[in-house]
């Protein structure tokens, strides 16, 4: 990536920065290395160089095209002041250990999740001026076990809608080590009684994951014995047990017109 001029208010001698990610696609639990090169346009004192791994949180961004108020997932800071002389370069290599709970942007071999975005933001502070407009996006692909679970949903006829990143934890039943969680929204197939929408969430670890099944409890899967057919059967039985009996007991014509099960 080419050098970009920071802090244009300083004029033609403003410092320049180049931020380079070692790869454009990662998976949860992996390491992302970022190399930042600063080049001085004039002799300045840099007060702070900061790198943030950020995500698009549900309630913070007005649309999907910009970065108005991204949420910080990981952060690295070099506090100054330190000198950046004209024509000189300062290089920093930064390693980010991505959490297992890292929000996904791509699933099922490369399908983009609508609404999911992550990036590295480079921030430079000089003379009480802060420029945090440099965003380098990258993709986070699902772990193989996550794709097995998501493929099971697809095989059962669930349709993917979008993903939302939220602050906090998805529920007291799941112990999360981070202050955020990602909800993946799907639509039930007709076989389950036109129930409507469903929001699921993963709580991944090195050897297993919890699946929050959308207000109907949770399931835990070990990576050692993750058989696709068994996962599909387990999900099918889970939703049939929790949703179909309740709606099958409603007499014909008892539900108000225009209201789907799960609404109202």
CATH architecture of 15-140: Sandwich (2.60)
Confidence band, pLDDT 50/70/90 cuts, at residue 90: very high
- pTM confidence score: 0.85
d(CA 7, CA 128) in angstroms, rounded, equals 11
In 3D space, the residue among 49, 52, 53 whose CA is nearest the CA of residue 79 turns out to be 49
In 3D space, the residue among 145, 236, 230 whose CA is nearest the CA of residue 189 turns out to be 236
Confidence band, pLDDT 50/70/90 cuts, at residue 129: confident
pLDDT tens figures, 137-151: 999 999 999 999 999
SS3 88: coil
SS3 178: coil
d(CA 203, CA 30) in angstroms, rounded, equals 16
Query: What Rg, from alpha-carbon coordinates, does the chain have?
Result: 23
The per-residue DSSP string of 93-141 comes to EEEEE--TTPPPSEETTTEEPTT--EEEEEEEEETTEEEEEEEEEEEEB
pLDDT tens figures, 18-61: 999 999 999 999 999 999 999 988 888 889 999 999 999 876 66
Cβ atoms of 42 and 13 within 8 Å: the answer is: yes
Tokens of 166: 């939220």
| CATH 2.60.40.640 segments of the chain | 15-140
Tokens of 238: 């889970």
Q: CA distances (Å), 44 to each of 37, 48, 54, 92, 121, in order?
A: 15, 12, 28, 18, 22
Q: CA distances (Å), 29 to each of 101, 142, 186, 195, 256, in order?
A: 8, 11, 25, 35, 48
Q: Please report how the helices 144-155 and 228-248 are oriented relative to each other, as an axis angle in degrees rounded to 10.
A: 40
Q: Does the structure show a pLDDT above 80 at 67?
A: no
């Amino acid at each position: 990536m080419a050098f970009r001029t920071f802090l244009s208010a300083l004029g033609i001698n403003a410092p320049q920065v180049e931020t380079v990610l070692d790869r454009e696609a990662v998976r949860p639990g992996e390491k992302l290395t970022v190399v930042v090169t600063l080049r001085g346009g004039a002799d300045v004192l840099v007060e702070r160089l900061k790198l943030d791994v950020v995500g698009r949180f549900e309630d913070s961004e007005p649309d999907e095209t910009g970065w108005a108020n991204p949420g910080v997932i990981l952060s690295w800071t070099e506090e100054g002041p330190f000198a950046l002389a004209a024509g000189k370069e300062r290089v920093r290599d930064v390693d980010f250990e991505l959490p297992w709970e890292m929000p996904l942007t791509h699933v099922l071999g490369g399908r983009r999740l609508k609404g999911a975005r992550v990036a590295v933001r480079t921030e430079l502070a000089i003379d009480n001026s802060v420029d945090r407009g440099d965003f380098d996006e990258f993709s986070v692909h699902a772990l193989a076990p996550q794709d097995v679970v998501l493929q099971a949903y697809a095989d059962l006829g669930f349709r993917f809608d979008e993903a939302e990143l939220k602050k906090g934890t998805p529920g007291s039943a799941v112990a999360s080590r981070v202050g955020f969680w990602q909800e993946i929204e799907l639509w039930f197939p007709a076989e389950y009684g036109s129930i409507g929408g469903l929001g699921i969430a993963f709580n991944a670890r090195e050897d297993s994951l919890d699946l929050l099944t959308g207000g109907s409890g949770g399931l835990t899967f070990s990576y050692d014995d993750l058989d696709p057919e068994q996962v599909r059967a387990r999900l099918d039985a889970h939703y049939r047990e929790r949703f179909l009996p309740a709606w099958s007991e409603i007499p014909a014509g008892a539900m108000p017109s225009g209201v789907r099960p799960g609404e109202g």
